[in-house]
Amino acid sequence: MRIVFSIFALVVMTGAASATFSLKETRATPSPQIAKAAQLQPAKTLAVKSGACRMKLSKETEIVAFGSYQGGVRSSWDLDDSTGHETREIAVRMTSEANDVFLVLTAYDPVIWVMDPAFASRVSGVLVLGYHGQAVANLPKDTPAIISSYQSRGNSKCELWAFAHQGGKRLEDLNSRVEQVTGRPIDRFSGQYESKAVPSDVVAPHPAIEGEIRSDVRVVKLDVPNGLAGVKELVRRGKLRKANGDDLEAWLAAATERSSTGHLAPVPRPQALILSQTYVILENVRLPKGLHGKDSATFFISPGVTEIKNPGGRGDFYDIGTGADCSFIGREECPAVSR
């Protein structure tokens, strides 16, 4: 999909500072599972109290809240690349028969809440809160939204950050924020640690981001995907290659020469270094986020490489030129690697 950006602007929406990014608009085809909901009447536009972080709801409006610690779908966008947390997406689909729904969406990690176009017209307003930056996509332009997070504190007129994916003190705090904005408590809440879609019982393809992205932080289009998919793309571009036994032997020789006791015994192979998960950095590069768990990766640094951007802060590095071991406890030994 060709991306068309408007000029970056900070837009004040219902009292909250939200960055709006316009994308090329295309018509979305509702999936068969949600065709029935698409036939419901659209919600009425909310009356928003001017100059305050409040939304005035009608008595018929249902306040529905969804919480997640992190998203479950990798995104091609990044919310404020200064943080090491990977941005993920959560699809938002409504199963309630109500035609007038006020949505509360909240997460700890950066999340882009992607509205399914078949349901977006039924949403009369959105409150998006989190610890890290949050965003909502595919929301109709005339639908009001307040977006606020701890990360954007000081830059937003609505310092309302909260997050909860289960009951307890955090949900109590979230409910208080909702009452502060709407004058009413949450009617229904559901949450889980990781979500691909809310509600989770609706099975449908993940919606594409086709409208605009509203966020309280800077939104960046990724050059390569996060995780190992991004590493493989960098291999395809010639910036990395898979490591082999010769690379390991070259580093071990350099590490032994570097060691003050190398003349007594050679430096052994690091236990954490798994050659099948190791790559050689051939030139200055920016690595993807999400290199942990099943997407873990280790890197040899070739001589001559001077700048490695590692925004996710994950992965171990071994400098073939100097023999430096730049694993987690020795990052300062590799000045080329930075976040």
> What DSSP letter does each residue of 24-68 carry, written as one string?
--------GGGHHHHTSPPPPPPB--TTSS--BPPTT-EEEEEEE
Q: Are residues 38 and 135 in the same domain?
A: yes
Residues 48 and 104 in one domain: yes
Same domain, 67 and 158: yes
Structural domain includes residue 54? yes
Torsion angle (degrees, nearest 10) of CA 146, 225, 321, 317? 60
How many structural domains does the chain have? 2
* pTM of the predicted structure, to 2 decimals: 0.77
151 & 242 share domain: no
Residue 151 included in any domain: yes
> What three-state secondary structure class fits 248?
helix
Distance from CA of residue 106 to its chain's centroid? 13
pLDDT string in tens for the chain (339-residue length): 333 333 222 233 333 344 444 333 333 333 323 323 333 333 333 333 323 588 889 888 999 999 999 999 999 999 976 778 999 999 998 765 667 889 999 999 999 999 988 888 788 899 999 999 999 999 998 899 999 999 888 776 777 899 999 999 999 999 999 999 999 999 999 999 999 998 877 677 888 998 789 999 999 999 999 999 999 999 999 999 999 999 999 999 999 999 999 999 999 999 889 999 999 999 999 999 999 889 999 999 999 999 999 888 888 899 999 999 887 555 667 888 887
Characterize 138-150 residue by residue with b for buried, 16 or more Cβ atoms within 10 angstroms of its Cβ, and e for exposed. bbeeebbbbbbbb
Residues 27, 172, single domain; the answer is yes
Residue 1 lies in a domain: no
d(CA 137, CA 91): 10
- 3 lies in a domain? no
- Matching residue, tokens 């099948």: 276
Contacts of 113 by beta carbon, 8 Å cutoff, 6+ apart: 89, 90, 92, 105, 128, 134, 135, 136, 137
Question: Are 327 and 316 a contacting pair, CB within 8 Å?
Answer: yes
In this prediction, residue 225 carries a pLDDT of 93
Nearest to 2 by CA among 235, 322, 221, 315: 221
- Rounded distance between C-alpha atoms, residue 219 and residue 226, angstroms: 15
Asked if the structure places residue 170 within a domain, the reply is yes
Q: Which residue segment(s) compose the domain that 26 sits in?
A: 10-221
- Whether residues 209 and 314 fall in one domain: no
How high is the pLDDT of residue 242? Answer: 97
Looking at the structure, do residues 205 and 259 belong to the same domain, yes or no?
no
Domain-located, residue 289 = yes
- Helix then strand count (H, E) for the chain reads 5, 23
Distance of CA 54 to the CA centre of its chain: 27
What's the CA gap between 7 and 69, in Å, rounded? 32
CA torsion sign, 97 to 121 to 216 to 176?
A: negative
- C-alpha 98 chain-centroid distance: 30
- Do residues 74 and 226 make contact, with C-beta atoms less than 8 angstroms apart? yes
**Nearest Cα residue to 101 out of 71, 134, 58:** 58
Q: Has residue 5 been placed in a domain?
A: no
Q: Are residues 260 and 308 in the same domain?
A: yes
Domain boundary at 206, 221, 236, which? 221
Residues 167, 107 within the same domain: yes
Of 197, 221, 245, the residue at which a domain comes to its end is 221
Residue 131 maps to a domain = yes
Q: Do 74 and 182 fall into the same domain? A: yes
175 and 138 inside one domain: yes
pLDDT for position 331:
61
Q: Is 258 found in the same domain as 186?
A: no
Domain boundary (221, 248, 274) is at 221
